Amino acid sequence: MKLIVLCLVMTVFCGVISLNTWTDVPNQASVAHEYSKTPVADNAAARANADDKPLREAYRDYFPIGTAVSPSMIADAKRAKFIATQYSSITPMNGMKAKYIHPEEKTYSWAEADQAVDFAQKNNMKVRGHTLIWFQKMPDWFFMDGNDYASKEKIMQRIDEHVATVINRYKGKVYCWDVVNEAYQFFGSAPVTPKRAKIYDMIGSEYIERAFIAARKADPSAKLFYNDNGFEEPDRRNRIFKYLKAKKEMGIPIDGIGMQSHYGVEGINEGYLQETIDMFASIGLDVQVTELDVSIYPKRENKVGNGRVLEATEIAGLSDQYTKEIQQDQGDVFDIVFRTCRKMRGNVTGVTMWSPYDKDNYLTEMLNKKNYAYLFNENLTPKACYYRIVNF
């Protein structure tokens, strides 16, 4: 009897210990093993058990299922109907980025963003605004004052005006914004990489705080996200976590973290993914997967997922055959992501694919090599990986 009581006490104690409050980042040793694959059911059997329910219906009680869209996708009647049927949220791929929506100081180009928002409104879909401030897509005029460089004060003022103008146009129609995108290398007093950008060189990392403050002032009801990639690399993830934790403690209005999740076919460790979601949720952040795709080529040099990112030239020599083995490995990755997000609903408040289907996807264009990174093929037909994530 004493032995039984002792075992019960130890079980409770271990459970308490596991509720890590994340006052610091986790031990990186937790990701030093390869991800475990889930056995894949026969594709025919999976299809037989599926009722081909749309993604938005399958996940209605969990979180919005979204996709990035381009103007041509929602202008085409067949593709538009498909998108509206399968997805409950959309993200304009480029139409809300500063370079395109605000090309001149006194000129806004609303057509592409308006098209996406109108489409969502007509089809009972949510809209993720992407993105207000991203150093790679800022118009040149933003940093100029006539023929001279603009002062720090003037650039800050422009951030305020740009953020307020864009948000106010779509207030009540865009439920969340990627306020700042991919600023990881500018966190703190010194960049961690030699990559340079005008916005950092001219005003420092203060632009991040300024953008969030301006966004909250413009729309107190919208959820405000910081969006970035590479969370499968522990050092990068931990640096982002520490920075956002410090900013929230300062009162900067950051509501969520967007994990882009551009994976390779080697995937991600399931325990590590859950650990990462727990980390950010522990400091009061909503977690969303914002740009999900699973390339049929490896993204990194090892299966742990935190090795060196492979160059396009290294991938160029790989076969582009979409073999059954590749499809199975890809399905494993999708299964891990969606299973983990379902398990952590409430903390996870959305999952967005970066294309609704394989046709014309950016990975094919970027690598100059065919890729099949999504849940539906070029003919808008569900793939085996689709059946795995709707049958749960």
Which run of H or E residues covers position 228? strand 223-228
Is 314 among the catalytic positions? no
For helices 324-343 and 270-281, angle between their N-to-C axes, nearest 10 degrees: 30
Alpha-carbon separation of residue 233 from 238, 249, 257, 303, 353 (angstroms): 9, 24, 16, 12, 21
Closest by Cα among 23, 169, 147, 173 to 101 = 169
Q: Are 294 and 361 in contact (CB under 8 A)?
A: no
Tokens of 355: 């294309």
| Integer Cα distance of 211 and 350 in angstroms | 23
Tokens of 139: 């118009």
| Integer Cα distance of 153 and 111 in angstroms | 30
Query: Across-strand partners of 226?
Result: 180, 257
| Integer Cα distance of 335 and 105 in angstroms | 45
| Integer Cα distance of 337 and 389 in angstroms | 9
Alpha-carbon separation of residue 249 from 98, 201, 242, 281 (angstroms): 29, 26, 11, 14
Q: Are 101 and 65 in contact (CB under 8 A)?
A: no
Which run of H or E residues covers position 267? none
Alpha-carbon separation of residue 52 from 46, 192, 235, 319 (angstroms): 11, 46, 40, 31
Distance of CA 139 to the CA centre of its chain: 23
Query: Across-strand partners of 382?
Result: 376
Closest by Cα among 380, 372, 360 to 81 = 380
Closest by Cα among 258, 231, 228 to 348 = 258
Active-site residue, selected from the candidate residues 291, 301, 365, 378: 291
Would you name the residues annotated as active-site residues? 291
